[in-house]
Amino acid sequence: MTLPESMQAVVCRGPGDYRRERIQTPQPGPSELILKIQACGICSSDLKCRDGAAMYWGDGDRFPPFVKPPMIVGHEFAGEVVAMGEGAKAHFGVALGDRVVPEQILPCRQCFYCQRGHYWMCEVHNIFGFQGGVAEGGMAEYLRVPANAVLHSVDPRLSVEDAAFLEPLACGIHAVNRADIQFDDTVVIAGGGPIGLAMVQLAKLKTPKQLILVDTHDDRLALARDYGADHGFTPHRDDIAKKIRALTGGYGCEVYIDATGSSSGVTQGLEALRKLGRFVEFSVFKEPTTVDWSTISDRKELDIRGSHLSPHTYPVAINLLARGLVTAHGIVTHQVPLTDFERGFEIAAQRDSIKVVLITDDT
């Protein structure tokens, strides 16, 4: 395939400054690929970055900026291999025409963490869609896959919609694995966004004693029940900790996974957990969260576990989707053309949507 000289892309030039531009189409270097992007999801982190959240744009002396504009945005994408640099076929083990998905991180392969196999904690930490010139994103017609990418072939049984959902699903798998769910556990997942609803399906596969979703929207609670949740509660009507204690003999849940991105979700979880419980924090927060650490130590002796990205979970995500054990049906609520990305972002910012996917016009 002969690549066009130019392409359309969604370019971030600063907080609130996202533009559809026509730019030069990337070309592959040695051991690199060019993908024709088929679909790219809009993540809550894309919205927070657009809105100028400090964790992306820096916060004075606390931490430096993470993003490097101008940059093509988007990290939840899948595409078809349409061009290959010298040695790329042997390097990645794929061929022209294959549908593939790279993991969101581009590990440096040299730092302390990469050298020890913990590539998802790479100190350099380039992520597709956040560092211009190094890790351009998938809200474009074409994307260059650098040689240090972690690439996976997509099962041909998967739809474009499913393939674009692999990144959030893989993240959800890592969080659920971190929870170490046992057969007799009561598991609470707080936050019924795309990844929270994926976690419901994944946690159900672990066959816990009880599975609960907490969210503020009844339609998401109903969807969670379709996915296998036993109960759905909303903090607008329910005393969450009281409800959970009533289902657990007064003790509380064994596992609480927070996917709310809200400080109230954190304090709610600490209250809802039983002594010796496990708290998994998945969320990305706009602002710092303060809690009473005595609850974690002296009162309950809790295990607090973070969850970041999706190490070694993309193959699992691909397999579960291909086998029909999890689904994006009901989660992907809107498909919007790339050319109308502004409307896509507007829809994604509304709570009556769940997952918005941008589709290239000829897909």
> Greater confidence, 243 or 286?
243
Question: pLDDT tens digit string along 149-172?
Answer: 999 999 999 999 899 999 999 999
pLDDT at 338 over 80: yes
Kindly list the domain boundaries of the chain, sorted by start residue: 6-165+328-359, 169-306
Task: Please give the average per-residue pLDDT across 342-360, as a whole number.
Answer: 94
Instruction: Report the pLDDT value the prediction gives residue 60, as an integer from 0 to 100.
Output: 79
Confidence at residue 1, expressed as pLDDT on a 0 to 100 scale: 72
Q: What kind of fold does domain 169-306 have according to CATH?
A: Rossmann fold (3.40.50)
**Confidence class for position 351, pLDDT limits 50, 70, 90:** confident
- Rounded to an integer, the average pLDDT of 76-87 is 98
Overall average pLDDT of the 216-244 stretch: 97
Q: How confident is the model at residue 362 (pLDDT cuts 50, 70, 90)?
A: low
Confirm if 72 and 37 have CB atoms less than 8 A apart.
no
CB 4 within 8 A of CB 64: no
Q: State residue 235 phi and psi, 5-degree precision.
A: -65, -15
| 6-165+328-359 shares its CATH topology with 169-306 | no
Q: Which residue has the tokens 């070309």?
A: 27
The pair of structure tokens assigned to 181 is 């769910």
pLDDT digits (tens, 9 = 90+) for 266-284: 999 999 999 999 999 999 8
pLDDT tens profile 31-50: 999 999 999 999 999 999 99
Predicted confidence at residue 291, as pLDDT, reads 93
- The pLDDT-based confidence of 59 (bands split at 50, 70, 90) is confident
At residue 12, what are phi and psi to the nearest 5 degrees?
-95, 125
pLDDT beyond 60 at 363:
no
Distance of CA 317 to the CA centre of its chain: 12
Q: Report residue 92's pLDDT band, with 50, 70 and 90 as the boundaries.
A: very high
pLDDT digits (tens, 9 = 90+) for 276-326: 999 999 998 877 889 999 999 999 999 999 999 999 999 999 999 999 999
Q: Is the pLDDT of residue 90 over 90?
A: yes
pLDDT band at residue 361 under the 50/70/90 scheme? low
Three-class DSSP labels, the chain: CCCCCEEEEEEEEECCEEEEEEEECCCCCCCCEEEEEEEEEECHHHHHHHCCCHHHHCCCCCCCCCCECCEECCCEEEEEEEEECCCHHHHHCCCCCCEEEECCEECCCCCHHHHCCCHHHCCCCEECCCECCCECCCCECEEEECCCCCEEECCCCCCHHHHHCHHHHHHHHHHHHHHCCCCCCEEEEECCCHHHHHHHHHHHHCCCCEEEEECCCHHHHHHHHHCCCCEEECCCCCCHHHHHHHHCCCCCEEEEEECCCCHHHHHHHHHHEEEEEEEEECCCCCCCCCCCHHHHHHHCCCEEEECCCCCCCHHHHHHHHHCCCCCCCCCEEEEEEHHHHHHHHHHHCCCCCCEEEEECCCC
Q: What does the pLDDT read at residue 199?
A: 98
Average pLDDT over residues 3-8: 97
Topology of domain 6-165+328-359 in CATH is Quinone Oxidoreductase; Chain A, domain 1 (3.90.180)
Quote the mean pLDDT of the chain: 96
Amino acid found at 239: D
Q: What is the mean pLDDT of residues 192-216?
A: 98
- Band of pLDDT at residue 12, cut at 50, 70 and 90: very high
pTM for this prediction? 0.96
